Amino acid sequence: MTDHFRGRLALVTGASSGIGADIARQLAQRGADLILTARRADRLEALATECRLFGVTVQTAPADIADPAARTALAERFPATDILINNAGLGAFGAFSTTDEAKITRMITVNITALTHLTHLFTRSMTSRGWGRIMLVASTAAFQPVPLYAVYAATKAYVLSFGNALDVELAAQGVRTSVLCPGTTRTEFFDVAEQTKSGFVERSAMTSADVARIGLDGLAKGRATVVAGTMNTAMAIGTRLTPRSLNARIAYRIMKP
Give the active site residues.
Answer: 152
Query: Helix, strand, coil % (nearest 5) of the chain?
Result: 55, 15, 30
Count, residues in the chain: 257
Are 23 and 87 spatial neighbours (Cβ–Cβ below 8 Å)? yes
CB-CB neighbours of 108 under 10 Å: 17
Cα–Cα distance measured from residue 181 to residue 139, given in angstroms and rounded to the nearest whole number: 4
∠ CA 157-161-167, nearest 5°, is 145
- 101 CB-near residues (< 8 Å, 6+ apart): none
Q: How far is CA 197 from CA 10, 41, 154, 248, in A?
A: 33, 28, 21, 18
Identify the CA nearest to 131 among candidates 9, 224, 34, 214: 9
Residue 87 backbone phi and psi in degrees, to 5: -100, -25
Q: How far is CA 231 from CA 81, 140, 227, 241, in A?
A: 34, 11, 9, 16
